[in-house]
């Protein structure tokens, strides 16, 4: 009989110094306060980073003035069945891309979780590359389509759920305003489309508008 923890895949990007972040935000820096090899009794470090770095979850307060912070994220949001969908948009994800996914699989239902695997995941580790302003994201029209479906959670494989050049706030507000929780920066490079179980929990940061997360998935 297999142990309960076998078969899970970690789809979290590691956090490391100077990893690619959103333009204009502080660089990720790991500062050493004390070092055993330097003669100190213990190793102690301090991490400086934007809460929107790497693999993370957005809180409604990120774009909604009256939205709750990340410490109030219900733990069940990121725990349970999740569908991973392969989409290949020309630029931003459109409702037509999502309808095509439904037609080859099955319709999305209220309360489901969905993570989109786009051509972003076909690249090398993008956290080690210059920021790509042309990344594939969810356009506002698709965000409203997802909101109308009343999904519980939507995930993407780059740093933002919304496009860089135009429509980023609109995409976020459409989703968060419909109580769709957002996870960004999921590592899907070695993941195929299908049905999975997911464990995904943010840190309980009081007042935080986002949090790093650790995501594990297991194919059903």
62 part of the active site: yes
Q: What is the DSSP letter of 36?
A: G
d(CA 130, CA 21): 9
Tell me the C-alpha distance between 166 and 61, whole Å. 21
Q: By CB neighbour count within 10 A (0-12 exposed, 13-18 middle, 19+ buried), where does 183 fall? A: buried
- For 145, the enclosing helix (H) or strand (E) is helix 140-149
Catalytic residue, chosen from 62, 136, 144, 165, is: 62
**Two tokens at 22?**
């959103």
Which letter, b or e, does each residue of 35-48 get, where b requires 16 or more Cβ atoms within 10 Å of its Cβ? eeeeeeeeeeeeee
Q: Give catalytic residues, as residue numbers.
A: 62
């Amino acid at each position: 009989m297999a142990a309960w923890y076998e078969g899970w895949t970690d789809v979290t990007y590691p956090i490391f110094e100077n990893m690619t972040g959103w333009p204009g935000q502080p660089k990720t820096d790991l500062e050493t306060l004390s070092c055993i090899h330097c003669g100190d009794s213990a190793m102690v470090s301090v991490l400086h980073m934007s809460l929107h770095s790497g693999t993370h979850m957005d809180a409604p307060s990120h774009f909604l003035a009256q939205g709750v912070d990340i410490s109030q994220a219900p733990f069940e949001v990121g725990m349970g069945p999740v569908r991973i969908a392969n989409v290949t948009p020309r630029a931003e994800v459109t409702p037509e891309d999502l309808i095509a996914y439904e037609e080859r699989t099955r319709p999305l239902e209220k309360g489901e979780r969905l993570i989109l695997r786009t051509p972003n995941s076909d690249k090398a580790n993008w956290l080690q590359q210059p920021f790509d302003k042309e990344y594939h994201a969810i356009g506002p029209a698709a965000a409203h389509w997802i909101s109308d479906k009343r999904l519980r959670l939507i995930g993407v494989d780059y740093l933002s759920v919304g496009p860089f050049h135009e429509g980023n706030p609109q995409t976020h507000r459409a989703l968060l305003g419909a109580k769709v929780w957002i996870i960004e920066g999921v590592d899907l490079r070695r993941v195929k489309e299908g049905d999975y179980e997911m464990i995904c929990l943010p840190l309980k940061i009081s007042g935080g508008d986002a949090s790093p997360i650790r995501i594990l998935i297991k194919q059903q």
